[in-house]
Structure 1
Amino acid sequence: MFAGFVRDRGALFLTVLFPLLFLVVFAGVFGHQSTPRVRVVQVGAAPVLEQAVGRAGRALTDTLAVERGGDRAAALRKVAEGDADAVVEQHGNVLVAHYSVADPVKAGTVRGLLGSIVQSADVAASGREPRFSLRVQRVEDESLGAVQFFTPSLLGWALASAGVFGASQTLVTWRTRGLLRRLRLSPAPIWALFGARVVVSVAVALLQLAVFLGVASLPFFGLRLQGAWWMAVPLVVAGVLAFLAIGMVIGAWARTQESAQTVTQLVVLPMAFLGGSFFPLDGAPGWMRTLSHVFPLRYLNEGMLNVMGRGLGAGSAVPQLVTLLGIAAVGAVVAVRMFRWDAS
């Protein structure tokens, strides 16, 4: 019985490796997580902020990183693109903080930290009426809700799962059942058969995109399509090609459906977590953030978030689009080199 359990790769994966995978991911992200460090761009003179940093010293700089920025528009753009957490400027006795709602946790941290700085400044001026106040402003349209930001990430996760699982399982099934050899002898060229599989996958993904956007745009959810949201279409196509290439590599390597399913799970699950589909990785260790760049889902999520959530232009998604196409090309070459007509 024990030997049979050990030889059953599916049961071994679900019993041992699957829970261990969750342990590694969640312990890595949350096990050593403390108060997230806030990255602030200071525009002009802000005596309240400067004096607070001077008084608190390292106790404050451990949680607050202040960068000087002379160009207000460029600083606001950094917040919109996720490269900074807030822009701070002071008008008289009012400290103004511009933040983004793309990460609700970080937005709350920004407001709480700057609010405490303003309160400390008032306490320092004891015996007087409160002199300083904090005014917070979103860099995005005030009417935009959180649905703008989690719709792209959930859609990306769904596309990644369908693409990798579909390609790997289809290829292994065709090989183990002898369909590949039959297809090789058929009048239709083999590139046309695999090309048809790719076309079908892309068509289904675009249909899935339309359904996601249609449901999320209902008044109950409130998704607003604006700006260069249409760039989500080429991003989805490029993302599906990258996911299919990864699935084909797995399918070309695996000899059985059980091994293909196990390896696919080991790829898809970390990619879902490290791709930013479920939570931001700002508080994760550096090695985990670096590892996340290996997975194409990160680039698909970033590109769609830029054009659908942050309201950035079409050019903001070009680097992610090129990266996804590059991953697809490399994966296709590897899959072709590893391809086998039968399981022998």
Structure 2
Amino acid sequence: MTAFKSLAKAMAKGLVRDKTTLFFSFLFPLMFLVVFGLLFRDAGMDKIKLGAYGDGEVVVALERTGAVEVQRFDKLDDGVAKVRAGDLPGLVEVNGDRVVLHFAASNQAQAGTVQGLVSGVTQSLNVRASGRPPKFDFTAQQVEDSSLKPIQYLTPGILSWSIAVGAVFSAGMTLVTWRRKQVLRRLRLAPVSPVTVLSSRVLVTVTVAVSQALLFTGVASLPVFGLRLSGTWYLAIPIFLLGVLAFFSIGMLVGAFCKTEEAATAAANIVTLPMAFLSGTFFPIDMAPSWLRAVSKVFPLRHMNDGLTDVMVRGKGVEALLVPCGVLLGFILVVSFIATRVFSWEDS
């Protein structure tokens, strides 16, 4: 136990003194979270801009829908010119009881939306004016969909990426540095078991990962970003721990292969950076082409992202743990086995 505490303390001090690892583990991913969180904070909240010439119940009803931002024009030609130039998707011309919609056909999606809104509002007013009950009864019921606000998928994704970077860099760099400085050789000759050395390194890595999780979720939960954790967020703990161990095993493999700190840094970047872009860290992977979604399933970061997102923000239950935990556990066993086969206590 004394050797374990001494090694863990030494590794923690080494990590604190390593400014590069601290920057890439905490500050660099946090910069992405803050920048993307601010950029996409109001995504999906824009109203449809619609021009209006004249006034009446139709224009008032369109404004009351909450989906339309009306821009009024004193001259019809000025409004039509805006539509023709592509600055507005449509213009509602109200002349007494006559309603004309001028729309641009270049954007079929916007044109269809605008026509549907104006047509629906007009028909509703017609039914009300006739004094007759509508033939068909229409009721709108809101349900929770599976779409997420940007901060909801950015936080689990960037958190997973930061954990991957921290675990791979710290484990790989420590192993290479200690081997080059012959610290591993001294530990091998000392009355310290390999399990003690490995477990102390794992403890430091998990502690750093917990600090990252608290920092990122804390920042993302600020009112300016608005992250909301689901009621099943605690189910993220096994995925979180298995993810840390998976990337720790990659770091051990990097440290076993590389002979210098420069080589270890390059190898860690080659592993973590492309994986971030191919695993849905910065955008939902469902938006990617089908071939990219298929390729991403071989990466542990993809399954860590999916697992954390499902339980932290989507509110899924225990069933959401099966696939990510199974894949991460298998990855740990395979990569750890390979790392033990190529590991060496000192440079040959």
- Give me the TM-score of the superposition, normalised by structure 1: 0.59
The residue type equivalent to 2:331 in the other structure is: I
CA drift at 1:137: 4.5
Name the residue aligned to 2:322: 318
Q: In 1, distance between residues paired with 2:324 and 2:111?
A: 33
CA drift at 1:300: 0.8
- Give structure 2 stretches of 5+ with no counterpart: 1-108, 121-125, 128-133
Q: Does 1:211 align with 2:247?
A: no
Whether the aligned pair in 2 keeps the contact of 1:149 and 1:308 (CA below 8 Å) is no
Name the residue aligned to 2:235: 231
Whether the aligned pair in 2 keeps the contact of 1:167 and 1:247 (CA below 8 Å) is yes
- The Cα offsets for residues 232-287 of structure 1, whole Å up to 9 and x where unpaired, read as 22211110000011111111111222222212111111111111101233454444
SS in 2 for 1:181: helix
In structure 2, the CA distance between the partners of 1:114 and 1:328, relative to structure 1 (3 Å rule), is farther
Name the residue aligned to 2:203: 199
In structure 2, the CA distance between the partners of 1:182 and 1:226, relative to structure 1 (3 Å rule), is same
How many aligned positions are there?
Answer: 229
CA drift at 1:213: 2.2
Q: Does 1:183 align with 2:187?
A: yes
CA drift at 1:163: 0.9
In structure 2, the CA distance between the partners of 1:243 and 1:141, relative to structure 1 (3 Å rule), is closer
Q: In 2, distance between residues paired with 1:248 and 1:201?
A: 12
In structure 2, the CA distance between the partners of 1:114 and 1:272, relative to structure 1 (3 Å rule), is farther
- Give structure 1 stretches of 5+ with no counterpart: 1-111, 124-128
| Equivalent position to 1:139, from 120, 141, 144 | 144
In structure 2, the CA distance between the partners of 1:303 and 1:117, relative to structure 1 (3 Å rule), is farther
In structure 2, the CA distance between the partners of 1:135 and 1:254, relative to structure 1 (3 Å rule), is farther
Whether the aligned pair in 2 keeps the contact of 1:226 and 1:311 (CA below 8 Å) is yes
1:151-300 to structure 2, matched below 5 A, reads 151-300=155-304
Q: In 2, distance between residues paired with 1:134 and 1:113?
A: 24
In structure 2, the CA distance between the partners of 1:182 and 1:290, relative to structure 1 (3 Å rule), is same
Whether the aligned pair in 2 keeps the contact of 1:242 and 1:324 (CA below 8 Å) is yes
In structure 2, the CA distance between the partners of 1:300 and 1:186, relative to structure 1 (3 Å rule), is same
Structure showing greater Rg: 2
The residue type equivalent to 2:216 in the other structure is: F
1:83-102 to structure 2, matched below 5 A, reads none
Whether the aligned pair in 2 keeps the contact of 1:227 and 1:313 (CA below 8 Å) is no
Q: In 2, distance between residues paired with 1:256 and 1:195?
A: 23
Q: In 1, distance between residues paired with 2:339 and 2:271?
A: 16
CA drift at 1:222: 2.6
Whether the aligned pair in 2 keeps the contact of 1:274 and 1:288 (CA below 8 Å) is yes
CA drift at 1:141: 9.8
- The Cα offsets for residues 290-311 of structure 1, whole Å up to 9 and x where unpaired, read as 2211211111110010011212
The residue type equivalent to 2:233 in the other structure is: W
RMSD over aligned CA atoms reads: 3.4
Q: In 2, distance between residues paired with 1:134 and 1:161?
A: 50
- Give me the TM-score of the superposition, normalised by structure 2: 0.58
Q: In 2, distance between residues paired with 1:274 and 1:232?
A: 22
CA drift at 1:229: 0.3
Whether the aligned pair in 1 keeps the contact of 2:161 and 2:301 (CA below 8 Å) is yes
Q: In 2, distance between residues paired with 1:119 and 1:286?
A: 32
Whether the aligned pair in 1 keeps the contact of 2:153 and 2:284 (CA below 8 Å) is no
CA drift at 1:207: 2.3
CA drift at 1:216: 2.5
| Equivalent position to 2:307, from 281, 303, 309 | 303
Q: In 2, distance between residues paired with 1:113 and 1:305?
A: 31
- The Cα offsets for residues 45-96 of structure 1, whole Å up to 9 and x where unpaired, read as xxxxxxxxxxxxxxxxxxxxxxxxxxxxxxxxxxxxxxxxxxxxxxxxxxxx
- The Cα offsets for residues 141-184 of structure 1, whole Å up to 9 and x where unpaired, read as 99x85433221111111111111111111111111111110110
In structure 2, the CA distance between the partners of 1:217 and 1:167, relative to structure 1 (3 Å rule), is same
Q: Does 1:332 align with 2:336?
A: yes
Q: In 2, distance between residues paired with 1:141 and 1:264?
A: 34
Q: In 1, distance between residues paired with 2:236 and 2:170?
A: 22
Identity of aligned residues (%): 44
Q: In 2, distance between residues paired with 1:255 and 1:232?
A: 36
Whether the aligned pair in 1 keeps the contact of 2:146 and 2:314 (CA below 8 Å) is no
Deviates more, 1:144-153 or 1:242-251: 144-153
The residue type equivalent to 1:201 in the other structure is: T
Q: In 1, distance between residues paired with 2:185 and 2:245?
A: 25
Whether the aligned pair in 1 keeps the contact of 2:154 and 2:283 (CA below 8 Å) is no
